Structure 1
Amino acid sequence: MNMETFLGLRAGVTRTSTLRGAGFSRAHLNKAVSAGRIVRIRRGVYGLPREGGALGLALQHNALLTCLSAAPTYRLWTLNDTTSVHLSPGHKRAPAGTVAHGRCPHPRHPWLPVAGLVDVLIHALRCLPEAEALVMLQSATQRGDVTVEFLRRKLPGNRNARARAVLDSLIPRADSILEVLANYHFRRAGLHVRRHVELPGVGEVDFLIEECLVVETDGETHLEPRQVKKDRKRNNATLIGGHLGLRFGYDDVVHHPERMVAEVLAVLEQFRSGAFRRR
């Protein structure tokens, strides 16, 4: 394995000691730098050209990536890409333009400059808006990487009340980010919600709200022609079966949740007033 391949397996950056431990001599290192195949980020830290990124910044300042910046390492769901790097600098001052987090008492990533999953999730709970933290937590807990009970024990006291409230919004199973967020917003609106309900002639629906309104959340796959035909049949079967139906896409759920909830409430209000029973 050459040095570039080795660095590629380590997200593009690593320390001199790691390279030497893998069998690359000082002569190999100097030759690769002279040829421009790798670059010296700072003393003792080397990386692939233009691939250091946030990991290179963490190594450069002897810090750990955490919170939203560590989400890709652990393949966690996220809503938005961050323009700021979230770092745990230990006892040192965080570099300008970064978001500083506290120390990381739990085991870190075995070889990347990234905080351990537990610290990443706790930092996200304390730092991010509730919905953004929720989707990260949902992906980790439903994979079984960490339990809700374990995280709850790590968040005692009044200062962690908001974080514990996010844990209360986790659901046992979610097939997508959209499902997590829609459930969060519907319940915040005080609606009675049942998820993954099996309806005769329709199959499993995402949500049954107030026992009368079916709500489906549609990701990109629902734009495929075959899925569009399937969804159309399901919509018809929903109405024939005696339920109302609404569908919402990514933009509705992620960027306009207030509008989505308002439309659900409007349909429910019309149902209660008897609008759908008039002749």
Structure 2
Amino acid sequence: MNVRISSPPRPIESVVAALGTAVRRKRLISRGYTDWHIRCALKSGAILRISRGVYATVDSSALAEHLAKHQAELTCFGRAKTEGLWVLHDQDVPHVGTAHGRPVPGCVTYRFRGRLSLRAILRHCAQCGTELEILCVLESAVIKDKCTMAELRTLFSRRKDGRVRKIIDMIDPQSMSIAETCARYHLKAADYNVQGQALIPGMGHLDALVDGQLGLEIDGKDYHNNEKAWEEDLRRGNVLIIANVPTLHFKAAVAMYYPEEMLRWVRQALETIAAARR
């Protein structure tokens, strides 16, 4: 009698890729693959054996292979970035999570139990980041429907989480980008009144309105480098002139990495507006 071995629904290399491009045998077995499937994939060149019980795609990174060999997963801001959350700065060394708790060479190591969940990733970010870095990642988690404000408050309800709860109070679910979040943070820290996504009749929404009189637009090249976007920018600019809302335009990088330059322009613009109204 011939024994037929059923094939899993997905090619094994696609699963390895989805799991970070390098995995241990145990994770493949837990997803319904057998040693026969693994041998076939190795023979065809779909995956590579990089050490005993560890397999990788042909285009896997050195970091992914290093983590798989040490039974570790990327966490903190590095993992948040792969999850599509807003990360202001890349970390100098990888921050990783392990169930075994042993140090991973060349990495900052956290211990976690079970599956590395979003809750654990956000907690790791909150342990390592600056106030602004934490705000960016938490705000994007809410905006991208990864979690709710209520869930964040529950996650950070311990006595020692007071700092993070203050950051949660800063979240604006209407923010459209990390650059807007950074601009709002720095402006409020400088004691300006900031209204995010301020509605201007006939134009739409401004990225921010400062002290009720100065508009701010944060222009990222990804959204302003085609003919349609250029035409819309011209229309919006004309409406702002008609509505008597003077508006500064900043590159996203200025709001994110050079806030002192943004604040200087805002201060000078408000001084000009005040002088003209005397």
TM-score, length of structure 2 as denominator length? 0.83
1:104 maps onto 2:105 in alignment: no
Per the TM alignment, residue 188 of structure 1 is displaced from its structure 2 partner at its CA by: 1.1
Please say if residues 126 and 160 of structure 1, whose CA atoms lie closer than 8 Å, have aligned partners that are also in contact.
no
For 1:109-258, list aligned pairs within 5 A. Answer: 115-156=116-157, 159-220=160-221, 221-258=223-260
Per-residue deviation at 1:243? Answer: 1.9
**1:127 offset after TM fit, Å?**
0.5
CA RMSD of aligned residues (A): 2.6
Name 1:269's counterpart in structure 2: 271
Note if contact 2:174-2:197 (Cα within 8 Å) is conserved in structure 1. no
- Return the match for 2:49 from 40, 53, 74: 40
One-letter code aligned to 1:234: R
Which moves more between the two structures, 214-223 or 54-63?
54-63
Q: Per the alignment, do residues 136 and 175 of structure 1 end up closer, same or farther by CA in structure 2, a change over 3 Å counting?
A: same
SS across alignment from 1:71: helix
Distance 1:8 1:153, change over 3 A: closer
Partner of residue 5, structure 2: none
Q: 1:118 to 1:2 in 2, by over 3 A?
A: closer
Q: 1:18 to 1:63 in 2, by over 3 A?
A: closer
The alpha-carbon distance between structure 1 residues 208 and 3, as it changes in their structure 2 partners (threshold 3 A), is closer
Q: Which amino acid aligns with 1:228?
A: W
User: What amino acid maps onto 2:109 in structure 1?
Assistant: A
- Per the TM alignment, residue 277 of structure 1 is displaced from its structure 2 partner at its CA by 4.1
The question of whether the paired residues in 1 share the 8 Å contact of 2:22 and 2:60 is answered with: yes
**Distance (Å, rounded) in 1 between the aligned partners of 2:60 and 2:219:** 34
In structure 2, how many angstroms separate the alpha carbons of the residues matched to 1:200 and 1:31?
A: 63
Aligned-pair distance for 1:171?
0.5
The total of aligned residue pairs comes to 268
Contact preservation (8 Å) 1:126, 1:163 = no
1:59 deviation in Å?
A: 2.6
Q: Which residue of 2 is the match for residue 14 of structure 1?
A: 23
Given candidates 70, 84, 87, the residue that maps to 2:96 is 87
Assess if the C-alpha contact under 8 Å between 2:179 and 2:253 holds in 1: no
Amino acid at match of 1:130: E
Deviation, 1:224, is: 2.3
Structure 2 residue runs without a partner (length 5+): 1-9
Aligned partner of 1:74 among 80, 83, 89: 83
Q: 2:68 aligns with which of 59, 63, 70?
A: 59
Secondary structure of 1:223's counterpart equals coil
Mapped partners of 1:28, 1:232: distance in 2: 58
**1:120 CA drift (Å):** 0.6
- Superposed displacement of residue 119, structure 1: 1.0
Distance change (3 Å), C-alpha of 1:233 and 1:21: closer
Report Cα offsets for 1:9-56 as digits up to 9, x if no partner.
433223323434556543553454466542334332211134154443
Aligned pair partner of 2:35 in 12, 16, 26: 26
Q: How far 1:124 sits from its partner (Å)?
A: 0.6
Q: Percent identity?
A: 30
| Aligned counterparts of 1:199 and 1:50: Cα–Cα separation in 2 | 49
Query: What secondary structure sits across from 1:19 in the alignment?
Result: helix
1:259 is matched with which residue: 245, 257, 261?
Answer: 261
Post-superposition Cα deviations, 1:220-257, rounded to whole Å, max 9, x if no partner, equal 21232332232233223212222221111112111211
Distance (Å, rounded) in 2 between the aligned partners of 1:116 and 1:224: 39
More deviation in 31-40 or 63-72?
31-40
Q: Which amino acid aligns with 1:56?
A: E
1:147-168 per-position Cα deviation (integer Å, ceiling 9, x unaligned): 2333333335664333223212
CA contact (8 A) 2:175 2:197 kept: no
- Partner SS, residue 68 of structure 2: helix
C-alpha distance 230-3 of structure 1, shift in aligned 2 (>3 A):
closer
